[in-house]
Amino acid sequence: MRSQSTFSLVKAAQDAAAVEFGKMLRRWRAHNNWTQYTAKRWADEAGLQETIRHSGLSELERGITRSPRNVVFLSLANLNGLVHEQQFKGVRSRDLMDQLKGSRAICDEATGEPWGPAQFWSCHAGLMPPPDWLAPPPAHPMPELDDEAAAELCAGWGDQAREAVRAAGAGGAQLMAVGGYAPPRLRQQWQDCVLGVDVFTAQDLAGLWDPDGGGWLPEQWLTAWREALSGVGGGEF
């Protein structure tokens, strides 16, 4: 019994570290003004698909992936190294180049060397803290709301989703895809919320507040879906 209790504590600590690592990646992306698709566009345009494997990075950022493969940390290190060198050869789109230029790499604060796979893995495992500039900000308290206010929030998210579909000239299938951006246990409820057939209650939303970012997690899911829906554009660089 004691052994299982110890295992449970270790597992909980690892899961918490994975979630915090994902939040650090999100802060890193936001600091550099990247979208969730910047790395994919970069890899596709510059022919770096084997160097920067973007698959799974979104799940890692959202803390969904608890045991990522080694290639994920290698890809993060490759991306980080290129950012450190400001090496963007092969990028043709002007808007993508504007996003990449001046991006900040994650480096050892003592040596200035960019993080490699070992550092990313250690941070994911909770053995190494993020650099100070990517440390968690002061927590933002969740605003008070009742079920009526929660229903109004849900209605607003539904309106935004339908407007995004209209603006993109998309159809109902793309609107249904919004559910895929929530964790598995909430996908159906989030999809129903956007479709207007269900709502999150105030109690539901109490668990969907992001104290680091000072916002609702459904807003982050909606943003990620809208970025995917809008596709990628930009002129040649």
Cross-strand pairs, 107: 114
Residues 178-200, mean pLDDT to the nearest whole number: 92
Same domain for 124 and 165, yes or no, is no
Mark whether 101 and 162 lie in a shared domain: no
Classify residue 235: in a domain, yes or no: no
Q: Is 210 within 8 Å of 217 (Cβ atoms)?
A: yes
Query: Is the pTM value of this prediction over 0.75?
Result: no
Q: What percent of the chain has pLDDT above 70?
A: 91
> Is the same domain home to 47 and 9?
yes
**126 and 193 both lie in a single domain:** no
User: Is 95 part of any domain?
Assistant: yes
Do both 181 and 129 map to the same domain? no
* Confidence check: pLDDT of 237 > 60: no
In the predicted model, what is the mean pLDDT of residues 197-208?
A: 94
117 with 181, same domain: the answer is: no
Same-domain check for residues 109 and 60:
yes
- One domain for residues 105 and 28: yes
Q: Of the residues 78, 113, 134, which one is the last residue of a structural domain?
A: 134
pLDDT (0 to 100) of residue 10:
66
Rounded to whole angstroms, the Cα distance separating 174 from 195 reads 12
Domain that holds residue 121: 2-134
Q: How confident is the model at residue 61 (pLDDT cuts 50, 70, 90)?
A: confident
Are 217 and 146 a contacting pair, CB within 8 Å?
A: no
Residues 85 and 124 in one domain: yes
Same domain, 91 and 60: yes
Structure confidence at residue 166 as a pLDDT band (50, 70, 90): very high
At 231, is the pLDDT very low, low, confident or very high (cuts 50, 70, 90)?
Answer: low
Structural domain includes residue 182:
yes
Mean pLDDT in residue range 47-75:
80
Same domain, residue pair 96 and 117: yes
Count of domains forming the chain: 2
Q: Which residues contact 196 (CB under 8 A, 6 or more apart)?
A: 155, 158
117 shares its domain with 49: yes
Q: Is residue 156 part of a domain?
A: yes
Q: Which candidate, 68, 72, 74, places its Cα nearest to that of 14?
A: 68
